[in-house]
Amino acid sequence: MSRRRVHLTFQGQLADEPALWNMSQEFGLVFNIRQADLEGGFGWVMLELEGGDDQLEAAVRWLEGRGVIVAPIEQDIVAG
């Protein structure tokens, strides 16, 4: 089992569906929200994900496919 700390930006997705719950069911992941700021479906969530490496990768791609921006907890690392 691996753990990954991620920063997610939602752009309306949370208004329509329980995206994190769906993700955890779909890929068998445990998630733990550490901080969040959401307003009308838009906002960000910092959470820790726990599960198999392949499941973690698949979950990231699944979220991205739904328009969620998935960044490491440090957000943009690639600097100018």
Beta strands in 12-78 (DSSP E): 30-39, 42-51, 69-72
Q: Is 24 in the site for another protein (CB under 8 A)?
A: no
Determine which residue in the list 17, 21, 25, 75 makes contact with another protein, applying CB under 8 A: 75
For residues 42 and 26, what is the distance between their CA atoms, to the nearest angstrom? 23
For residues 78 and 80, what is the distance between their CA atoms, to the nearest angstrom? 7
Determine which residue in the list 24, 46, 58, 66 makes contact with another protein, applying CB under 8 A: 46
Q: Is 16 in the site for another protein (CB under 8 A)?
A: no
Q: Which is nearer to another protein, 28 or 72 (CB)?
A: 72
- How many C-beta neighbours within 10 Å does residue 44 have? 15
Determine which residue in the list 18, 41, 52, 72 makes contact with another protein, applying CB under 8 A: 72
